[in-house]
A and B are shown apart, each in its own frame.
Chain A
Amino acid sequence: MKHIDSHLHVRGESQYVDDVPPPAEMLHAAVYGSPCAHGIIENLDLEKARAVDGVMAIFRAEDLPGTNCFGPIFQDEELLASSEVNFIGQPVAIIVAKTPEIARKAREEIEAEISPLPVVVDPRVAFKNGDFVDQPRTNSMGDVEETWKDCDFVVEGRCDMAGQEHVYLETHRARAIPREDRCLQIFASTQSPAALQSAASVLLGLPIHKIEVDVKRLGGGFGGKEDQATHWGCMAGMCALLLQKPVELVLNRLEDIQMTGKRHPYSCDFKMGLTKEGKILAYDVSHYQNSGAFADLSTPVLERTIVHSTNAYYIPNVRVFAAPCRTNLPSNTAFRGFGGPQGMFVIESAINKAAEVIGMPAEEIQAKNLISEGQYLFYGQPIKNCTIGRTWKQTCEDFDLEGVRQRVKSFNEENFAAKKGFALMPICFGISFTKYFLNQGNSLVHVYLDGSVGVTTGGIEMGQGISTNMATIAARTFGIREDRIKVESTNTTRVANMSPSAASATTDLNGNATICAVEQILDGMKEVALVELGVEDKSKVQIVDEVVFYDGSESVLTWEELVLKTYMKRRRLSAHGYYSTPGVYFNPQKGRGNPFAYHVFGTSLIEVTVDCLRGIYTIDQAKIVHDIGRSINKTVDIGQVEGALAQGLGWMTLEDLQFGEDGRCLSHALSTYKAPDVYFMPDDMEVRFLEDSTNKFGPLGTKAVGEPPFMYGIAVFFALRNAMKAFSPKTQFEFNSPLTPERVLMELHKDIPLIPAPAGKGVLVDS
């Protein structure tokens, strides 16, 4: 089966929020964001804006009917800033007008008077100031301080990682329609309908059941719509409720980049102790997370950074310090990997530093320290069904690591300005929400009298293929054709209290719930079949390819007939399935527990060529062996791996999110923020799934796939660095990402002085 929506996608017929014909009298909203990164609003002059022809209303914080206070973990955020503003673009007022153009034109007329307060954009500065969104934490195992003296080598260093813009192709949007009895229906592009629904309930002062959120699909999410879609849905809802008219709010790209949070930038210090054979004995790391202005999801993101700080390695002595530092940037938020990539990048940096100092290839240190079955990760969870060693070995063999090594070596000997480099990246990524209560899923399955089936789950289709997976799971569990299944929109009136579609766990949670719902229906159907066939053992009834089998033999009873007979016998044809992941728990204070149902493993190999004269580079090949368990749908799963890899490569190289000292986003458009394009990605790219793997926690034996492959991209950083070392072996290169062509060229030439510039000749240059 191909992606269930693909035939609509290629015809341009898939409907996103604002593609659905609008209801009569629909109005359009635009958001006025703070022009200042930190300050107190002294005055906001709305008179001129209100006078613009076609403007229907302008709302501020005081217009909210409920409590102006929300947030997913801590309720520390206002929907509209009432007095203090904490980042540039923070919503302060909403303009509602007859067209979006009028609303934006009116916005230009708003004048704000804001008394500035100090602006902090650097997490280390916030740390010094003691300004956190939550308390810093230290988690450890063993005793690092006692171990340094036993090490042959101890290396230290620092990493700085920039953030990353999600660049979902569909920007944030929502359409709210007032319904009778002060009810609201909100169509939104959100990964978390329940979060939007509960936030709207608080902000608008309505019980949750009066707010219906419906999501058909997203034009990409990647975490950016996990929590931060809530704001826009609530704003559309607020306007619709107050004006009693349908209101649509669509952010344009510039607004979207300026007003919403991104992947967290981190600044980190590391210290690693090893034996001369390359065995890691101790690892100490401090993560200074740039959380942005409000808590948002920063603390769970940081939690995942902590637990993934040792990546796929067994290290007996570990100490991880982590501080979520408050700055005057948009609140940073979920993004594929959810803090894991940052944690892993630091330990890979430490290993590469150690490799330089010991004089041993990094991949040798990596291989020697890979975790194996039964060994404990430092947060107290033993590794089970460990396949990291297998994926590593298969990557090296299938993709001829030795050949790559030789080829790179001789290329570098033959060429002066062009240098090649390669690197491997093993990954070990835990599956489950670390907020363990979120590990539950619901599914509502209806069988209609013609034998067609409708499935609604709490999972959001954002391109990742959840609908395709749900259809396959339902069809295979029933024993019927996939085209009988329709996967419905995700709707809070059909599934309540759903967890966000996040943490790679959407197929696991909702797929298992779907199996549970299907089995309830099947149970009754099988009893009906027993009567029809005049047999007795329910366990011997099976539906295969739409025909009822008994004890392995085909009967005359078809799916369609059985459905009708089940109805006539007054047995259920609808069921609600519920699933919660067994055995997961985590104590965040102690940093210990069994947070994950299982881990996903895999290894990537990436080779690059750097043009050391110009500082530009190409990715020559990307090869991956990935443990998917038993793939439900190879097309969907390969697509997840390749897409995640592309984002990981982008994060490490050209995606250059820049903020000024004043907190202004400098790369706030797709003309200045570059994501991987068709030429950037290597033509030589291959993903292989590990054979003979399964997973008892995943529906039909699959393993979660959304996030883990993102981190394969980390290899590109070290491949580039290795190529740079081939050009200039004595240079001490930094561990700062992204490794843009600018960084590459400047680093390559940092020991070669440039003719000094004459003073005072700077002039304006832009596009």
Chain B
Amino acid sequence: MVYKTKFILNEQLVETDCAPGMLALDYLRRQEWKTGTKEGCKEGDCGACTVLVGSLQEDESVRYEPVTSCLLPLGELEGKHLVTIEGLNMTELSPVQKAIVEEGGTQCGFCTPGIVVSMNGLLMDKSKTVDLEGIKYALSGHLCRCTGYRSLKSTATLLSERLGEHLTADDRLSSLVAAGALPNYFVEIPGMLREIAPEPITSENGNGLKKADFLIAGGTDLYVQAGEKIPDAKVQVLNLLPGMKGINRVNGHYQIGALTTFEEFGNSPEMQEVIPDLGHFIHLIASWQVRNRATLSGNIINASPIGDMTALLLALESELILQEAGKERIVALKDFYKGYKQMDRKKSEILTAIRFPAPAPGTKINFEKVSKRTCLDIASVNSGMLLLVEDGVVGKIQFTLGGVAPIPLLLCETGGFLSGQPITLENARRAIEITQEEIAPIDDVRGKADYKRLLAKQLFIAHLTKLCPEKLKVREFYDL
């Protein structure tokens, strides 16, 4: 059976029978000859291939998100609006393009189209501000080897001055069109998308959920690992399945749809209430483009020992809801991993949701991550901690570490020791010793084993001193 993908490419409706697992980047450059989209790394690390994907929302508006087309399967574009740099060009330079030219924010030019796309994405996103922080957010997934970024950051002032009230208008897209910041055709897109809205796919009428070689929940890591195999393989793009998104509170639990993206998770008011520092934690994880596609389930099923979300979800006492042929099964995340990339999951089982108990009042949550580069880098060690101190003793503790074992690790012995104990320097030191016995890091490109052991200790100290600043200070751990 020939599988066709129907979507809007810039201002044109296209229908292609290219493989659904083919990368949008390859499709654009080779089938459509849209060469403004560049290949820099094919790992989502440079942003040169950034495009916008627009999706029709419940309120009939279209929401655009920048994503890296080097990790984007064509099949996922079904019913979507794909915008490349060519689709943002008008007769005159747009305000973003003009600002970059004027500030000298382009030298060799290879990274530039992707940067223009992300910066347009910023203008189009109502939840973002167009200022220095906003521009940095927009550039979080871009490498520019020529400029040193200062000239790109300087565009913030120009853009906010020039676009002014257009950046606060309710109908942001129409306002940007009126301001000459977007081509006119953008106003037609919602109507065009309504006409091609796809039929919901179920496991029954889909293109063979059970037979698929690859189930793609986002694919941001899968393509890095197996990018050359996927285009020729049978794939099922899970994002076409309904009902696996959204965050709800059900019976004292928070239930999160498996296909919730990192960005959706980070922007969720419920999650921000549970985890007050979530905004900062999200900043340490991937880039804007990757967070727009990476899903919680993808992070969990990828089973990386240093999955950032996994380390956090493990601390939150998460459970996984697995489904197979309509039957549900619940597995605690802490029991899910059986060895390096080994999981308690049958090939035909789909992770549909993640849930965790609403933390008791007074519970504090922290996430720590140390990587070579603060942003868009894989951790050397990451760590989550959930801590409840009641009546002067530890009522509940969930301490997790990534990168120190073949699996994302919940430090049961360390937690067990501290439970019921007061937070004291002596107990903390003993806990550090116990942690060292629970972990087994190895040397790799992200750090030597000794370093990871040291980080396990340091991050534990970081958690405790941050969560209980009245009880412990960093200096108490040092004899300097």
Residues of A within 8 A of B (CB): 2-3, 5-16, 18-19, 21, 101, 104-105, 166-171, 217-222, 252-253, 416-417, 462-465, 613-616, 618, 635-636, 638-639, 642-647, 654, 656, 658, 666-667, 669-672, 674-681, 683, 685, 727-728, 740-742, 745-746, 749, 752, 754-755, 757-758, 761-767
Contacts and interface: CB of A to CB of B under 8 A. Distances in A.
9 contacts: A2-B102, A12-B89, A463-B146, A642-B147, A646-B145, A674-B373, A679-B136, A681-B149, A683-B153
B394 to A, nearest CB: 21
B349 interface: no
A615 B142 contact: no
B378 A671 contact: yes
Interface string B61-96: 000000000000000000000001110010001001
Nearest to B479: A752
Contacts of A416: 473-475, 478
B375 A219 contact: no
Contacts of A762: 440-442, 449
A685 B108 CA distance: 21
B454 A749 contact: yes
A465 B104 CA distance: 11
B161 to A, nearest CB: 18
Given A8-B109, A463-B109, A678-B142, A754 B454 contact: yes
Contacts of B445: 658, 666-667, 672
Given A13-B36, A755-B433, A766-B444, A101 B228 contact: yes
Nearest to B48: A169
Given A169-B48, A638-B151, A670-B41, 4 more contacts: A2-B104, A166-B145, A252-B42, A253-B42
A761 B443 CA distance: 12
A678 B153 contact: yes
Given A416-B475, A463-B108, A742-B448, A220 B148 contact: no
B306 interface: yes
Nearest to B152: A678
Q: Which of B43, B145, B231, B371 has the most CB of A within 10 A?
A: B145
A674 B147 CA distance: 16
B219 interface: no
Top 9 nearest A-B pairs by Cβ distance?
A12-B36, A463-B108, A219-B110, A9-B109, A463-B107, A12-B113, A761-B440, A646-B148, A12-B85
A253 B113 contact: no
B429 to A, nearest CB: 9
A643 B146 contact: yes
B405 A642 contact: no
Given A3-B106, A170-B38, A757-B436, A671 B149 contact: no
Contact of A740 (B45, B228, B372): B372
Contacts of A613: 458, 461-462, 465, 474
A572 B454 CA distance: 74
A677 B376 contact: yes
Contacts of B327: none
A765 B432 contact: no
Given A5-B109, A6-B100, A745 B458 contact: yes
Interface residues of B, number: 105
Nearest to B111: A169
B41 A253 contact: yes
Contacts of B107: 3, 463-465, 639, 643
A294 B283 CA distance: 43
A727 B35 CA distance: 51
A745 B455 contact: yes
B145 A675 contact: yes
Interface in B107-146: 107-113, 116, 132, 135-136, 139-140, 142-146
Q: Which of B41, B374, B378 has the most CB of A within 10 A?
A: B41
A166 B373 CA distance: 17
Contacts of B378: 671-672, 767
Given A253-B41, A615-B458, A11 B380 contact: no
A722 to B, nearest CB: 17
Contacts of B380: 741-742
B462 A678 contact: no
A742 B101 contact: no
Q: Which of A221, A644, A681 has the most CB of B within 10 A?
A: A681
B155 to A, nearest CB: 11
Contacts of B374: 616, 618, 679-680
B325 interface: no
B104 A638 contact: yes
Contacts of A727: 480
Contacts of B306: 765, 767
Contacts of B46: 169, 670
Contact of B108 (A218, A669, A674): A218
Contact of A10 (B112, B153, B375, B437): B112
Contact of B305 (A218, A644, A683, A765): A765
A671 B43 contact: yes
Interface in B1-59: 33, 35-43, 45-46, 48
A719 to B, nearest CB: 17
Contacts of B144: 169
B210 interface: no
A248 to B, nearest CB: 12
B396 interface: no
B372 A656 contact: yes
A765 to B, nearest CB: 5
B312 to A, nearest CB: 17
Contact of A765 (B110, B405, B437): B405
Contacts of B185: none
A467 to B, nearest CB: 11
A754 B43 contact: no
Nearest to A105: B228
Q: Which of B340, B441, B445, B479 has the most CB of A within 10 A?
A: B445
A220 B108 contact: yes
Nearest to A686: B150
Contacts of A643: 107, 145-148
A674 B458 contact: no
A595 to B, nearest CB: 28
Given A10-B116, A104-B228, A741-B370, A2 B101 contact: yes
B291 interface: no
B297 interface: no
A14 B108 CA distance: 10
Contacts of A18: 35
A462 B480 CA distance: 51
B357 interface: no
B372 to A, nearest CB: 5
B442 A764 contact: yes
A767 B149 contact: no
A11 B97 contact: yes
Nearest to A749: B454
A213 to B, nearest CB: 19
A21 B33 CA distance: 8
B395 interface: no
Q: Which of B136, B151, B458 has the most CB of A within 10 A?
A: B458
B324 interface: no
Nearest to A684: B150
A11 B107 CA distance: 13
A745 B373 contact: no
B441 A765 contact: yes
B224 interface: yes
A168 B139 contact: no
A168 B140 contact: no
B40 A169 contact: yes
A115 B143 CA distance: 40
A645 B148 contact: yes
A221 B457 CA distance: 42
A16 B162 CA distance: 32
A500 B443 CA distance: 41
B372 A765 contact: no
